[in-house]
Structure 1
């Protein structure tokens, strides 16, 4: 898999938030550590257990070997006499008998621990006894174990025999059975239990993964997630402040207390807000100064124009002055329109559009609204009204009528305004947003226009967290699309 594919996979399937990614990394590290530690612990435990089993099995095998040698050295007539004496020796209990036939042992599911015992017993007995290849060693379940012959089960013996053979109820501990030939047609039969049955248990190896251990690990991970959430909360507040400032350009001071990286970021953010605010204030003062400074020379030029004797020249000068004055007023107007200071409140876009349409129809304009929902948002009412009036007014002015469609799609409010005009020349969808940029059709329909309406409308949409797009509608005319997130200011203002 290529590096780019891995990056896209991680971007798609990992949490997008910083706390989520911290938590995911923490969980991955904890689980990886747990797997490694558990593997090391289990390996060491298995080695220790196997060594303990080997030691116990070796001691038992040596005692069994000594018993067999002693038993083999006895005269045949004495062997049955001392069988009972061999069934309880040195704290390790045996069931010992001399059989006339080899007893078949039912298959038993051996674990690795059982196999270790079998291997040690076989090796020790073969090394100490002269019966290589004839020794039969196996584990059997006490419920299926046969004694004396192939027809007698251990469980069918009297209680006294069962106790001596270590049928430990309610446990069903596996019984180690050793059969060694001691003469022609005679087998010495020994059945015993391992002295320390806990060594054969599988439960010990799962100690690190017990429920109590996992429960504590989950509790610690929960506490760690709370700490991660607390550590990353200042960054979340910083993100909210940046979004709010980006919408209305009103400074939102953030705390500069936290980790070193956050303090540096917060200080830079607060400093940036101050610089931008100073820039905006300087821009206002610059435009106000320009307006004030131009009024006097424009007035003087008008007076001098009136003194011209040539009517054509006077008219040309007058038109140029009108155009210059219009440009100054338009620039000041766009500055005023986009700098609307009002508190956000709940706005029903359906009611607002219907109100604008009703006002337009009252003066003979052709405006229709089609809404499938209330589509309410938290925003600036005056700014939103100016924006929609501007766009609907353009549709009526340049396209004869305006059909407005209001829908809600996947958490976004979609407003589409369609007209019946000629649309835009190809490739001009962004060009018309430039200040004072006007097309021939627009100049013909509205000679007094200034080319600042669209840029004003887009700025007003931007401060509400939305975007404005233009395209030629396939069935004719221009379609203006406004996309607004539901409640764009409800969490940040």
Structure 2
């Protein structure tokens, strides 16, 4: 089941690579859009400043020559309010009020232009107000002829220059609406970028993912079977080289494991044969007490040798999986301990049939329950079914294990009981074998101390977890 975070962000390498590049492209296009809008805004202010500068320079020259700002015929044509947005006036007071939107960038541009053309002034201000509506007839005519007034007007820029005589030379310049082409251009660019970059990227990442998936499956098969199964190199050269290296490594490991099995088989045969002969000769010892002690020692050596060989061969026995009723198996093992006089109880277990290597799971359960009755006097066993796993919980009433020693108990030949008496301390391989058997099935074995309400030690809990499905 995927969590909310996994839905928002893919977990696979190819998915994350595609999502990262797609997100980077989107962020890049958003930054590009912001920059283009700012450039468009700056260009609009430059156009306003350029037009205002030309009109102020022309009006200043007319005033210095003693000519009026506009011809009388022109005044009569433009008396109707709102007919023309561009006007040049000479006013006694500053028309730019504090309530208007100030245009400091336009003022700065004009301050750098006007002095070079000999325009003298005391003060220069610029602001923007709402544009008066234009009659529909003029708007339609402007649209038909495609003139400079054809675009919609966003506002009216008012630039006022205070002349040396105190009057304000004022020009009005329409500010057009921002072009909607930028948004369409950015969208078109984004779509084109995604088509040009994402399609090859998806093809490349899927190819890499297939190669990595084959390598991952090969590693999983080798982990489960410890038998080399060569993987066909594919994908980029780096992945192909990695696949070839894995094939060579797995072949070498399998050869070493086979040699180890042959060596252990020879050791087991060479040791067990003289042990069996020694066991026969022990029967001729006249002292019964000495004979029994010698026979027990030989049996302990044989048992330890069997555990060592079993631990070495685990995972390479070739034993097939078979459907096993886990509840019935646990009850059967518990009855074996009860028949030997131990106190073992099993809670009502659900019927659960899962594929297992019966020999190894039976041995793991015997080792864990045996430890519980050996060190904790009694064992209580229960089975809990999870969403995708099943847990077999074994509780005892023993002294527990120091927190720092819990993980150490899974190491070979580590015993909680410090003596070397196998009757009380075992071989030190029981938990090691049990954990190895569970890991062979994809499960786990954990130990945890259990405490009473007052903080005193109540015992140890061993949890054997197996996957279901």
> What band does the TM-score fall into relative to the shorter chain?
0.5 to 0.7
Partner of residue 73, structure 1: 67
Judge conservation of contact 2:86–2:171 (CA < 8 Å) in 1.
Answer: yes
Rate the CA distance shift 1:383–1:140 in 2: closer, same or farther, 3 A: same
Q: Which deviations, in whole Å up to 9, do the C-alpha atoms of 1:2-23 show, x marking residues without a partner?
A: xxxxxxxxxxx99876446645
1:309 shift after superposition: 6.7
Partner of residue 285, structure 1: 262
Give the structure-2-normalised TM-score. 0.67
Q: Which deviations, in whole Å up to 9, do the C-alpha atoms of 1:328-350 show, x marking residues without a partner?
A: 44444555665443455777755
1:366 shift after superposition: 4.0
- Separation (CA, whole Å) in 1 of partners of 2:405 and 2:74: 114
1:171 shift after superposition: 3.8
1:460 shift after superposition: 0.7
Q: Which deviations, in whole Å up to 9, do the C-alpha atoms of 1:155-208 show, x marking residues without a partner?
A: 8xx989x999x99799445345678999x99999875x55xx6xx544479559
Choose the corresponding residue for 2:75, options 80, 83, 87: 83
Partner of residue 255, structure 1: 232
Rate the CA distance shift 1:471–1:104 in 2: closer, same or farther, 3 A: closer
For residues 341-360 of structure 1, the aligned pairs below 5 Å read 341-343=318-320, 353=330, 356-357=333-334
Say yes or no: does 1:403 pair with 2:380.
Answer: yes
Say yes or no: does 1:142 pair with 2:112.
Answer: no
1:482 shift after superposition: 2.9
- Separation (CA, whole Å) in 2 of partners of 1:175 and 1:439: 91
Say yes or no: does 1:127 pair with 2:118.
Answer: yes
1:434 shift after superposition: 4.8
| Secondary structure of 1:473's aligned partner | strand
- Separation (CA, whole Å) in 1 of partners of 2:411 and 2:171: 103
Judge conservation of contact 2:233–2:243 (CA < 8 Å) in 1.
Answer: yes
- Separation (CA, whole Å) in 1 of partners of 2:45 and 2:207: 48
Q: Which moved more, 1:235-244 or 1:173-182?
A: 173-182
Partner of residue 481, structure 1: 462
Partner of residue 271, structure 1: 248
Say yes or no: does 1:109 pair with 2:101.
Answer: yes
- Separation (CA, whole Å) in 2 of partners of 1:428 and 1:186: 96
- Separation (CA, whole Å) in 2 of partners of 1:447 and 1:314: 21
- Separation (CA, whole Å) in 1 of partners of 2:286 and 2:88: 147
- Separation (CA, whole Å) in 2 of partners of 1:185 and 1:323: 119
Q: Which deviations, in whole Å up to 9, do the C-alpha atoms of 1:368-403 show, x marking residues without a partner?
A: 345798888765455334322432244345544321
Judge conservation of contact 2:438–2:466 (CA < 8 Å) in 1.
Answer: no
For residues 94-243 of structure 1, the aligned pairs below 5 Å read 104=95, 107-110=99-102, 115=107, 127-128=118-119, 132-133=121-122, 139-143=128-132, 171-175=152-156, 193=173, 200-203=176-179, 210-216=186-192, 223=199, 224=201, 227-243=204-220
- Separation (CA, whole Å) in 2 of partners of 1:303 and 1:138: 116
- Separation (CA, whole Å) in 1 of partners of 2:159 and 2:408: 98
Rate the CA distance shift 1:30–1:303 in 2: closer, same or farther, 3 A: same
Gaps of 5+ in 1: 1-12, 88-92, 145-153
Gaps of 5+ in 2: 1-7
- Separation (CA, whole Å) in 2 of partners of 1:386 and 1:244: 24
Judge conservation of contact 1:61–1:121 (CA < 8 Å) in 2.
Answer: no
- Separation (CA, whole Å) in 1 of partners of 2:207 and 2:464: 34
- Separation (CA, whole Å) in 2 of partners of 1:423 and 1:181: 95
1:116 shift after superposition: 6.5
Rate the CA distance shift 1:378–1:104 in 2: closer, same or farther, 3 A: farther
Rate the CA distance shift 1:280–1:23 in 2: closer, same or farther, 3 A: same
Rate the CA distance shift 1:119–1:343 in 2: closer, same or farther, 3 A: farther
- Separation (CA, whole Å) in 2 of partners of 1:296 and 1:134: 116
Judge conservation of contact 1:405–1:416 (CA < 8 Å) in 2.
Answer: yes
Give the structure-1-normalised TM-score. 0.64
Judge conservation of contact 2:125–2:161 (CA < 8 Å) in 1.
Answer: yes
Aligned-pair Cα RMSD in Å = 5.6
Partner of residue 4, structure 2: none
- Separation (CA, whole Å) in 1 of partners of 2:17 and 2:354: 34
Judge conservation of contact 2:103–2:126 (CA < 8 Å) in 1.
Answer: no
Rate the CA distance shift 1:333–1:168 in 2: closer, same or farther, 3 A: closer
Q: Which deviations, in whole Å up to 9, do the C-alpha atoms of 1:293-348 show, x marking residues without a partner?
A: 34543455456556667777766655554444444444445556654434557777
Judge conservation of contact 1:371–1:407 (CA < 8 Å) in 2.
Answer: no
Q: Which moved more, 1:317-326 or 1:39-48?
A: 39-48
Judge conservation of contact 1:98–1:186 (CA < 8 Å) in 2.
Answer: no
Rate the CA distance shift 1:167–1:317 in 2: closer, same or farther, 3 A: closer
1:109 shift after superposition: 2.5
Judge conservation of contact 1:57–1:120 (CA < 8 Å) in 2.
Answer: no
Rate the CA distance shift 1:163–1:454 in 2: closer, same or farther, 3 A: closer
| Secondary structure of 2:393's aligned partner | strand
Q: Which moved more, 1:35-44 or 1:325-334?
A: 35-44
Pairs aligned (count): 448
Judge conservation of contact 1:305–1:318 (CA < 8 Å) in 2.
Answer: yes
Judge conservation of contact 2:395–2:461 (CA < 8 Å) in 1.
Answer: yes
1:457 shift after superposition: 0.7
